[in-house]
Chain A
Amino acid sequence: MTAPALRARGLTRVYQDGSRRMPAVSPTDLDIPEGKFVTIVGPSACGKSTLLNMFCGLDRPDGGSIETPALGPGGLLGRVGYMPQSDLLMPWRDVTGNAAVGLECLGMAPAAAHQRAAAHMKQFGLEGFEHAYPGQLSGGMRQRVAMLRTFLCGRKINLLDEPFGKLDAMTRTAMQAWLLDYWQENACTILFVTHDIDEALFLSDEVHLMSPRPGRIVLSLPVDLPRPRRYGEVVTSVAFNRLKAQLLDQLGKVA
Chain B
Amino acid sequence: MRNQVFAPLALGAGLLLLWEGYVRLAHIPALLLPPPSAVFAFLGQNGGTFYRNAAVTLSELLIGFAGGVVIGLALGVLMHTWRGFRTAAYPWLVATQMVPIPAVAPILVLWWGFTLAPKAATVALMCFFPVAVSTVDGLGAVNPEMLRLLRSFGARAWTVMRMAALPSALPRIFSGIRVAMALSVVGAVVGEWVGANQGLGYLMLHYENRGETAGLFATVMVLAVVGILLFFLVGGLETLVLPWRRYAKETV
Contact = CB atoms under 8 A, between A and B. Distances in A.
Contact of A135 (B143, B145, B248): B248
Contact of B148 (A58, A78, A104, A135): A58
Given A90-B164, A91-B252, A106 B154 contact: yes
Interface in B215-252: 242, 244-250, 252
Nearest to A83: B149
B159 interface: yes
A82 B148 CA distance: 10
A66 B149 CA distance: 20
Interface in B98-134: none
B24 interface: no
A94 B167 CA distance: 13
B227 to A, nearest CB: 29
A73 to B, nearest CB: 16
- Give the size category of B's interface with A: 20 to 34
A92 B168 contact: yes
B146 interface: yes
A65 interface: no
Contacts of A90: 146, 163-164, 167-168, 252
Contact of B244 (A77, A78, A92): A92
Given A92-B242, A105-B159, A133-B248, A78 B154 contact: yes
B150 A105 contact: yes
A76 to B, nearest CB: 9
Nearest to B170: A92
Contact of A153 (B153, B167, B244): B153
Given A91-B250, A92-B168, A77 B150 contact: no
